[in-house]
């Protein structure tokens, strides 16, 4: 090979490497979805209409009202068919509580998720029941994202409490980080995301005017939650899941605050050069 050819090859290699580096710098896609519990006072028809108005196709669906009934099985099928017809994807089922070691009870909840066509359960198993749940995670090849519920929760106040327990367990068991409950537990949500890393499977987002007070929830952007820092942390860990708005105020008329929340989050993402 001549010196000139070697030089040309080196330049080509540099160009390829530069392209790879540039691609790595390109922000990924944060997928803004909704928790159906935000509409727990409304029926499925309203949920579908509200989700369309929020201009998102992604829904974390709960067995509340008739959003995604667990029983009878035909009701689950009917709900999923209605969402599909509306162009809405049910990304996960939950929160589902696991409070008994009864294998039949655990299995019917995994069957429910399987019937719904999801591969992620947002769950709240007790510490005692978690090893039993793990066996079904393996059997069904289904991920379990354990949801923390703040200082009132004697099982899982913070995502860091969950991490300590699940570290040696099956890698399909991870976290659903609720940033509001996380902040109220005294844990920085940004820190929790970084520490959770690949075990962050889902994220429920909300904002608080006072990061210690549950009742201080406001529209996203009106409080003190580090929204930009949360998005940056998710990109840093190469997060592949959803950021689901869980709006738990103004339950009789939640849509205006949710529209405002989505507008703010999309504005933050656009300002960071990210897609929404």
CATH of the domain at 56: 3.20.20.150
Region 77-81 average pLDDT:
98
The 10s digit of each residue's pLDDT in 231-267 is 999 999 999 999 999 999 999 999 999 999 999 999 9
Under DSSP, the state recorded for 215 is G
Does the residue 188 lie in any domain? yes
Alpha carbons 34 and 90: distance in angstroms, whole number: 10
Does the residue 107 lie in any domain? yes
Does the residue 137 lie in any domain? yes
Q: Total domain count for the chain?
A: 1
Does the residue 10 lie in any domain? no
Chain mean pLDDT for the chain: 92
pLDDT, position 23: 42
pLDDT, position 213: 98
Does the residue 91 lie in any domain? yes
Q: Contact at 8 Å (CB) between 124 and 95? A: yes
Under DSSP, the state recorded for 134 is H
Region 85-104 average pLDDT:
98
- Identify the domain containing residue 153 by its residue range: 28-271
Does the residue 3 lie in any domain? no
Does the residue 7 lie in any domain? no
Does the residue 83 lie in any domain? yes
Q: Contact at 8 Å (CB) between 147 and 126? A: no
The pairing of strands 89-98 and 207-208 is unpaired
């Amino acid at each position: 090979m001549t010196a000139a050819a070697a030089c040309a090859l080196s330049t080509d290699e540099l160009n390829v490497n530069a392209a790879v580096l540039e691609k790595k710098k390109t922000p990924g896609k944060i997928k803004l979805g909704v928790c159906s519990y935000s509409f727990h006072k409304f029926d499925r028809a309203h949920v579908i209409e509200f989700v369309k108005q929020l201009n998102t196709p992604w829904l974390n669906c709960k067995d509340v009202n008739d959003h995604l009934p667990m029983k009878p099985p035909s009701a689950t099928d009917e709900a999923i068919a209605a969402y599909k017809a509306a162009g809405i994807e049910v990304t996960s089922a939950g929160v589902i509580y696991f409070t008994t070691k009864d294998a039949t009870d655990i299995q019917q909840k995994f069957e429910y998720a399987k019937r719904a066509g999801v591969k992620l359960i947002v769950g709240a198993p007790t510490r005692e029941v978690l090893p039993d749940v793990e066996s079904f995670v393996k059997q069904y090849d289904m991920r379990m994202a354990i949801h923390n519920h703040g200082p009132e929760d004697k099982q899982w106040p913070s995502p860091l409490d969950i991490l300590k327990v699940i570290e040696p367990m099956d890698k399909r068991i991870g976290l659903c980080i609720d940033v509001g409950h996380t902040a109220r537990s005294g844990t920085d949500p940004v820190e929790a995301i970084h520490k959770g890393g690949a075990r962050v499977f889902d994220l429920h987002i909300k904002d608080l005017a006072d990061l210690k007070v549950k009742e201080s929830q406001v529209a996203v952007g009106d409080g003190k939650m580090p929204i930009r820092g949360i998005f940056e942390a998710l990109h840093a860990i190469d997060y592949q899941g959803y950021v689901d708005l869980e709006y738990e105020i103004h339950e009789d008329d939640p849509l205006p605050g949710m529209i405002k929340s989505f507008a703010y989050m999309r504005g933050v993402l656009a300002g960071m050069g990210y897609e929404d």
